[in-house]
């Protein structure tokens, strides 16, 4: 129920109660109630009166939930009520594992195609294979039925030990597999590989319960391969567990270095510092951020910046710096209540200001020009903060990068936009896998994969596919303009069908990643005398 609708309904209820009270007084019945706001009695009073006097049957559970949602909406944008289903989904996402069948799939043509089968998982044991088309889950047909992808996921998930029948189409044959669900690990490291002889790259998707362990393993692997510098990609990372952010900060900061502090009306200030026992104290670091970098990711970026430990490259982060305390109830529901704010070591509040258009803030940034011009970043210069080296930094919400990299729109043509709208690239990748499955699935070396894809002449194949299947043909000059931007995407999408999976995807994508290129080419140590934000275009 929309908030405005609920408020109107609530006002109607209050007016009804007032009419009832007036009616009672007319018959000399004195029924005045103690509606003291300080003791929350008014809300209980209204709900009780509805239950006892409303003309029709009331779903009190639904009514109570609506009241709670409306009440919490008056606090801040991140204090929320979570019904049992939403609470379970929220906790599962960050737990590091979930109950399911152990596959990754995409849906390019209204049919779920198995992208990969998790080694040792229930699906691999049952016999599912990469490239299988999922037709049915139990008796429900999901192929060609416009079934939403989240519904497909929900149908396949279930408690460990329970069974589900997955019917797939494999080379034109319908095959049912009875699969016993089990615990499936959820990894937060999307990719970890060397960009050159000394520069490593790690992409972290979220701060889950296993982040510290996964990150250490990835960093140790890259150190053994010669890494002395790390490009740490936190773009699109919406955060997660606070303690895992502390663990990662500790890997890079000297003993006693401040990481973050939190403080609230009912929470005394609490400071968190590094213990100096990290394994990456001598590794240079550049952190990639964008408007999707939030919460725990911003704590990490802020700690690196304020200690002058590395360079923040990209765009201003989301600006979510509120401490959410979970409060769970016996019915499986719960609330996430804001109890404090996070502050970077220099004293900057990470949280962006609340506003009437808070939910549309990212869109407003785009309209305002912040994604393409460093001068358009809204910076609060009323208070100046200073890093450990004395460099001026500013608040206003989020972490402002040391090196600003604008969004690149120069290679986006009408042809590219039309292909994106129809997901032509994804469906083309699926079609190529169907044709070259044997060759792709045997490759586990990036050099061999690149040579193999070169031999397929993906550019010509894609143009033929786009024209034949979607009726999309580039106008004169469009392909030449878009080719350098589109081809790495095609290599990445087809390449992830190999044994390299997501590593292949991100390796190929580096060819068009302007933020990554800027980080590689820029120094990874901070000049404390430099301005707080430098436009990469101006620096070239």
Best CA proximity match to 325, nearest among 315, 312, 339: 339
Rounded to whole angstroms, the Cα distance separating 494 from 500 reads 11
Determine, yes or no, domain membership for 425: yes
Rounded to whole angstroms, the Cα distance separating 10 from 86 reads 25
Burial of 196 (C-beta count, 10 Å sphere; 0-12/13-18/19+): exposed
Determine, yes or no, domain membership for 486: yes
Provide the domain limits for residue 503. Answer: 414-515
User: How does 395-413 read in b/e, with b if 16+ C-beta sit within 10 Å?
Assistant: bbbbbbbbbbbbbeeeeeb
Q: What is the DSSP letter of 132?
A: P
Determine, yes or no, domain membership for 265: yes
Best CA proximity match to 335, nearest among 63, 71, 7: 71
CATH number of residue 112's parent domain: 2.30.42.10
Q: Roughly what angle, to the nearest 10 degrees, separates helices 414-421 and 478-495?
A: 30
Determine, yes or no, domain membership for 492: yes
Determine, yes or no, domain membership for 61: yes
pTM attached to this predicted model: 0.80
Determine, yes or no, domain membership for 179: yes
262 shares a domain with 133: no
**Which residues of the chain are modeled with pLDDT < 50?**
1-29, 35, 539-540
Q: Is 220 helix (H, G, I), strand (E, B) or coil?
A: helix
433 shares a domain with 354: no
Which of 185, 205, 225 corresponds to the end of one domain?
185
Half-sphere exposure of 395 (CA within 13 A, CB side): 18
State the total domains in the chain.
Answer: 4
pLDDT score for 29: 46
CATH number of residue 348's parent domain: 3.90.226.10
346 shares a domain with 220: yes
Burial of 540 (C-beta count, 10 Å sphere; 0-12/13-18/19+): exposed
pLDDT score for 123: 85
Which of 153, 185, 217 corresponds to the end of one domain?
185
Rounded to whole angstroms, the Cα distance separating 459 from 484 reads 10
pLDDT score for 26: 42
Taking a C-beta distance cutoff of 8 angstroms, is the pair 343, 262 a contact?
yes
107 shares a domain with 44: no
Half-sphere exposure of 269 (CA within 13 A, CB side): 7
Best CA proximity match to 498, nearest among 445, 462, 451: 445
Which of 74, 89, 121 corresponds to the end of one domain?
74
Beta bridge partners of 180: 163
pLDDT score for 11: 38
295 shares a domain with 311: yes
346 shares a domain with 287: yes
Taking a C-beta distance cutoff of 8 angstroms, is the pair 365, 371 a contact?
yes
177 shares a domain with 195: no
225 shares a domain with 361: yes
303 shares a domain with 317: yes
418 shares a domain with 314: no
213 shares a domain with 318: yes
Is the backbone of residue 444 left (phi > 0), alpha (psi -120 to 50) or beta? Answer: alpha
Taking a C-beta distance cutoff of 8 angstroms, is the pair 475, 415 a contact?
yes
261 shares a domain with 336: yes
Determine, yes or no, domain membership for 197: yes
* Torsion angle, alpha carbons of 219, 220, 222, 226, to 10: 130
Determine, yes or no, domain membership for 526: no
């Amino acid at each position: 129920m929309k908030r405005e609708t609920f408020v109107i309904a609530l006002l109607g209820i209050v007016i009804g109660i007032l009419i009832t009270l007036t009616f009672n007084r007319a018959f000399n019945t004195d029924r005045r109630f103690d509606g003291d706001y300080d003791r929350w009695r008014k809300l209980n009073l209204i709900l009780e009166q509805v239950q006892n006097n409303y003309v029709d049957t009331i779903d009190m559970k639904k009514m109570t939930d609506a009241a709670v949602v409306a009440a919490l909406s008056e606090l801040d944008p991140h204090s929320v009520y979570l019904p049992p289903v939403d609470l379970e989904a929220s906790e599962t996402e960050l737990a590091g594992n979930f109950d399911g069948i152990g596959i990754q799939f995409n849906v390019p043509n209204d049919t779920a195609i198995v992208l990969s089968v998790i080694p040792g998982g229930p699906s691999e044991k049952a016999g599912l294979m990469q490239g299988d088309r999922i037709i049915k889950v139990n008796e429900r047909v999901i192929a060609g039925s416009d079934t939403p992808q989240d519904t497909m996921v929900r149908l396949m998930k279930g408690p460990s030990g329970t069974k589900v029948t997955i019917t797939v189409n494999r080379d034109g044959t319908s095959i049912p597999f009875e699969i016993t669900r089990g615990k499936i690990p959820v990894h937060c490291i999307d990719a970890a590989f060397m960009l050159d002889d000394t520069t490593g790259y790690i992409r972290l998707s979220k701060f889950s319960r296993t982040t510290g362990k996964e990150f250490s393993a990835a960093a140790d692997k890259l150190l053994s391969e010669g890494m002395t510098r790390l490009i740490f990609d936190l773009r699109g990372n919406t955060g997660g567990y606070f303690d895992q952010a502390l663990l990662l900060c500790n890997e890079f900061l000297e003993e006693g270095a401040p990481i973050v502090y939190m403080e609230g009306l009912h929470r005394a200030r609490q400071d968190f510092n590094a213990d100096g026992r990290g394994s990456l104290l001598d590794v240079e670091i550049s952190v990639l951020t964008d408007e999707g970098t939030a919460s725990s990711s911003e704590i990490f970026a802020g700690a690196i910046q304020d200690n002058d430990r590395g360079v923040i490259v990209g765009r201003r982060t989301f600006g979510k710096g509120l401490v959410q305390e979970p409060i769970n109830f016996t019915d499986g529901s719960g609330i996430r209540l804001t109890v404090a704010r996070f502050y970077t070591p220099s004293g900057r509040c990470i949280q962006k200001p609340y506003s009437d258009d808070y939910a549309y803030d990212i869109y407003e940034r785009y309209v305002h020009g912040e994604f393409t011009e460093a001068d358009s970043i809204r910076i609060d210069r009323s208070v100046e903060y200073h890093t450990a080296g004395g460099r001026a930094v500013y608040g206003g919400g989020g972490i402002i990068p040391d090196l600003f990299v604008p969004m690149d729109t120069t290679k986006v043509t009408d042809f590219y936009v039309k292909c994106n709208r129809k997901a032509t690239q994804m469906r083309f990748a699926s079609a190529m896998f169907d044709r070259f499955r044997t060759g792709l699935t045997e490759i586990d070396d990036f050099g061999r994969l690149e040579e193999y894809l070169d031999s397929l002449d993906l550019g010509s194949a894609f143009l033929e596919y786009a024209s034949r299947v979607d009726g999309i043909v580039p106008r004169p000059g469009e392909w030449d303009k878009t080719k350098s931007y589109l081809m790495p995407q095609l290599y990445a999408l087809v390449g992830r069908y190999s044994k390299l999976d997501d590593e292949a995807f991100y390796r190929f994508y580096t060819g068009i990643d302007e933020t990554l290129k800027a980080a590689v080419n820029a120094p990874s140590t901070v000049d404390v005398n430099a301005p707080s934000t430098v436009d990469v275009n101006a620096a070239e």
